[in-house]
Homo-oligomer: A and B are copies of this chain.
Amino acid sequence: MKKLKRSGRLVDMTHFLLQHPHEVISLTHFSERYHSAKSSISEDLVIIKEIFEGEGYGSLLTISGASGGVKFIPRIHREQAEEFVNDVIKQLAVPERILPGGYLYMMDLLGNPKFIQRLGQVFASLLANEKIDAVLTVATKGIPLAYAVGQFLNVPVSIVRRDHLVTEGSMVSINYVSGSSKRIQTMTLARRSLAPGSRVFIVDDFMKAGGTIRGMMDLLEEFQAELVGIGVLVETVEVEERLIDGYMSITKLSNVDVRNKTIKVEPGSVLELLQTVEVEEKK
């Protein structure tokens, strides 16, 4: 790349950092790329840091030492997360969403890449200080969420399936009890798709009793993998017995009245959790 002035460097570095979250980028990398002194690069980074942190795009950590450099950690401000959660609630509460049997149509939200990106940003923000190696979800609707989280955390995605495909190689299968229907079902994960010992974040779109997520947790044990956290877009409140705890939720569905066509949705646990993270970090 040709030598750039500060203005050009700022544009290029902003682009680069956004594409490389959770990666340590050495000052040497930038200084060679722009043929500029490290002291100038450091000054550039101060400007970027101020905007990123002020506007809630994330934090810019400076890592000192020989292998030092800078690391962009995507985050979201709590007020922005609150705005997002309220918007999700408003959108979920639209009566046209109600399907026969009291199910909710959600593909308009799940099909929207911008919505999915924002979701990923909220979860990634809550996981900013965790060491995570992979994001796990179950086909089909959890997939976009998992990729959004994976993108912000810069880690691969593994997909659990309910069928068995010839294009996946050897697979590990487990049986699990679907919490609400009490039926026994099977889920499988390709042996190659998750490294043993991985630290895993599980994400899904919808959780009733939590049987599917419980199943994924059992599957993790087969891979000697470790669960770091669980995130869902919608949890339902009216559940006899929840099979898991300690999860993060964007929203809580408290009631779907099919006859009167009303849907009651409340904020999930993410807002409170974001506040806790902020308070802890200020200590």
Contacts and interface: CB of A to CB of B under 8 A. Distances in A.
A154 interface: yes
Contacts of A167: 99, 103-106, 141, 206
Nearest to A12: B51
A176 to B, nearest CB: 18
Given A6-B7, A116-B147, A15 B12 contact: no
Contacts of A279: none
Nearest to A165: B140
Interface string A161-205: 100001111000000000000000000001011000000000000
A10 B10 CA distance: 7
Contacts of A12: 51, 55
A151 B113 contact: yes
Contact of A103 (B112, B147, B166, B206): B166
* Copies of this chain held together in the complex: 2
B147 A113 contact: yes
B47 A111 contact: no
Contacts of A150: 113
Nearest to A6: B7
A272 B117 CA distance: 32
Contact of A192 (B11, B108, B117): B108
A277 B36 CA distance: 35
Interface in A129-161: 139-141, 143-144, 147-148, 150-151, 154-159, 161
A251 to B, nearest CB: 16
Contacts of A144: 143-144, 147, 157
A173 B192 CA distance: 34
| 8 closest Cβ pairs, A-B complex | A113-B151, A14-B14, A11-B51, A113-B150, A111-B156, A139-B140, A143-B143, A103-B167
Given A7-B47, A113-B155, 14 more contacts: A11-B11, A15-B55, A99-B166, A99-B167, A105-B167, A107-B158, A108-B193, A111-B157, A111-B193, A113-B151, A113-B157, A116-B147, A140-B161, A167-B206
26 contacts: A4-B51, A8-B51, A10-B14, A11-B11, A11-B48, A11-B51, A12-B51, A14-B14, A15-B52, A15-B57, A19-B117, A99-B167, A99-B168, A103-B166, A105-B168, A107-B168, A107-B192, A108-B192, A111-B156, A111-B158, A113-B154, A141-B167, A144-B147, A144-B157, A147-B147, A147-B148
